[in-house]
A and B are shown apart, each in its own frame.
Chain A
Amino acid sequence: MIPAFGTQYDFQWTDLGDIELGRPNLGQQMPVVVYRLAQYTMREALSKRYGDEVAGDILRESGWIAGRELCINTLDTSKPLTAFLADLQSKLKELGVGVMRIEQADLERLTLTITVSEDLDCSGLPVSGTTVCDYDEGFIAGVLHAYSGQTFAVKEIDCWATGDRTCRFAITPDNAAA
């Protein structure tokens, strides 16, 4: 997937501001509940205005932009894929996004299965029976696009919200979008 970019606003990394300057006492950290409050209330607002499917798409697209920007601004894209994945793993852990593991990687076909435990978006959520990590799906696709220049389809197979303890994502090249 690649989001349809608008003309009103293009996110820039500098839009995140100087957090150290702005939060000299509170600093970089905040509770996960605040992040989830923002994410799920935004989902509700989007769902009410546009319906569940479009809300999911919007979250996925915003995740894609976030993944791309995080990759461009904090990761070394010149490294080979395996070293890059190791860096990504460390970065996601360092930022508290989740514990990423690679279950399977076919570097020729560019298909991967990864899991994210202790996921920022969903670990501990009530079980609803449907996957909820739309933002994560986009995020992973955005990171891999920024690294490789290729488009990827990322599908969440297992999620805490469907009763699993680890989120599992199947990643394949998105030939339809290419």
Chain B
Amino acid sequence: MNEADRRYLAAATQQIEALLAARAAKPLQPTGLSEGLQPFAERLDALLESLAALRRLSIALANGDLAHETPSGSHLLGPLKQLQSSLRHLTWQTQQVAQGDLEQHVDFLGDFSDAFNQMIQALREKRLAEEKIRYLSEHDSLTGLHNRAFFDTELARLRAKGTYPVSLIIADLDGLKRVNDELGHHVGDLLIQKAAQVLQTSLGPDDVLARLGGDEFAIILPGAGASQADTVLARLRTAEANANRKEAVFPIHISLGAGVASDPTDLREALRRADEAMYADKAERKAASGDRSQRR
């Protein structure tokens, strides 16, 4: 053993001590060692290099630094790099969940996988419950149409931003009180459902139909002026007649009235005009019906 060998062994011992004390160590790159020691020193340097990289990666992971770049080709780093990869993927998955993707599933992190998947399942159930609550808050349970709350929200939205003119139609099912009193509420409910179907089938995909309550319905026709509203009224009349031809036992009679708003400030007034027109239609239909009875 020469002097260079002795100095190297002392330095190597210090590096190993440093590693054992969780401090940084670095390769020694010795030269001039005796023939037996030089290859050993080179392999020890490779080991020190790997262990130093392993230490840096361990510290980075312990500190939550997933972006830490690691050298390729070291078997010693393999398991930790796999953990780093799993945590990076988990980060990505969590970002997807944050953006609303509840299809993410973890199956590579032991007990944590179960906990994560249970959390996702709970979020899915919460989302379903929220969707159900939202549906119920916006829809009428008897007809499945939108309800008054949705209609009011939609009007508010149109006041804030909408394509004008906007036409509003009020529809009222005639004689519902009499049917309820004489034939029972279950028959009245059937008539309301039938009226809802007739109204629904006559509208376009952008039109909004709501049951405001009892026998009253309202329709919003975005972007429709007076002539388009008249066309829809005519279509509703035809649908009503067709429905009554098919089902003569419990015919429905719907009074209709339309109002047109030319800008957002005119919406409330248009609704009032539609209401008035509906009552005028109801009176006219009643008078016509009386005339027909008298003629008979």
Q: Which residues of A contact B (CB under 8 A)?
A: 82-83, 86, 99, 101-105, 113, 115, 117, 127, 129, 157-158, 162-166, 168
In the complex, chain B residues 269-296 whose Cβ is within 8 Å of any chain A Cβ:
none
Q: 20 new A-B pairs (CB below 8 Å) besides A103-B85, A157-B72, A163-B78?
A: A82-B99, A83-B101, A86-B101, A86-B103, A86-B104, A101-B85, A101-B92, A102-B92, A103-B88, A104-B88, A104-B92, A117-B82, A117-B85, A129-B73, A163-B72, A163-B73, A164-B72, A164-B74, A165-B78, A166-B78
29 pairs of residues in contact across A and B, judged by CB atoms under 8 Å: A82-B96, A82-B99, A82-B101, A83-B101, A99-B108, A101-B85, A101-B88, A101-B89, A101-B108, A102-B92, A103-B85, A103-B88, A103-B89, A103-B92, A113-B88, A115-B89, A127-B73, A127-B75, A157-B72, A162-B72, A163-B73, A163-B75, A164-B73, A164-B74, A164-B78, A165-B79, A165-B81, A166-B78, A166-B85
Q: How far is the CA of A104 from the CA of B85 in the complex (A)?
A: 10
With a cutoff of 8 Å between Cβ atoms, the chain A residues found around residue B77 in the complex are 164
Is there an interface contact between B89 and A168, defined as CB atoms closer than 8 Å? no
B193 interface residue per 8 A CB criterion: no
Is there an interface contact between B72 and A158, defined as CB atoms closer than 8 Å? yes
B174-208: CB near A (< 8 Å → 1, else 0) gives 00000000000000000000000000000000000
Q: How far is the CA of A163 from the CA of B54 in the complex (A)?
A: 14
Nearest to A87 among chain B residues (CB) is B103
Q: How far is the CA of A93 from the CA of B238 in the complex (A)?
A: 58
Nearest to B100 among chain A residues (CB) is A82
Nearest to A163 among chain B residues (CB) is B73
Give the B interface residue count (CB, 8 A).
20
Is there an interface contact between B81 and A101, defined as CB atoms closer than 8 Å? no
Q: How far is the CA of A163 from the CA of B85 in the complex (A)?
A: 15
With a cutoff of 8 Å between Cβ atoms, the chain B residues found around residue A113 in the complex are 88
Which of A86, A127, A157, A164 lies at the interface centre, i.e. has the most chain B CB atoms within 10 A of its CB? A164
Assuming A86-B104, A104-B88, is B82 touching A163 (CB within 8 A)?
no
In the complex, chain B residues 204-218 whose Cβ is within 8 Å of any chain A Cβ:
none
Q: How far is the CA of A169 from the CA of B108 in the complex (A)?
A: 19
Is there an interface contact between A166 and B108, defined as CB atoms closer than 8 Å? no
Instruction: Give the shortest distance, in Å, between A120 (CB) and chain B (any CB).
Output: 17
B65-89: CB near A (< 8 Å → 1, else 0) gives 0000000111101110110011011
In the complex, chain B residues 98-121 whose Cβ is within 8 Å of any chain A Cβ:
99, 101, 103-104, 108
Instruction: Give the shortest distance, in Å, between A155 (CB) and chain B (any CB).
Output: 12
Is there an interface contact between B85 and A83, defined as CB atoms closer than 8 Å? no
Nearest to B88 among chain A residues (CB) is A103
Q: How far is the CA of A29 from the CA of B72 in the complex (A)?
A: 33
Q: How far is the CA of A158 from the CA of B96 in the complex (A)?
A: 25
With a cutoff of 8 Å between Cβ atoms, the chain B residues found around residue A102 in the complex are 89, 92
With a cutoff of 8 Å between Cβ atoms, the chain A residues found around residue B99 in the complex are 82
Q: How far is the CA of A103 from the CA of B81 in the complex (A)?
A: 12
With a cutoff of 8 Å between Cβ atoms, the chain A residues found around residue B101 in the complex are 82-83, 86
Instruction: Give the shortest distance, in Å, between B281 (CB) and chain A (any CB).
Output: 47
3 nearest CB pairs, A to B: A101-B89, A165-B78, A163-B73
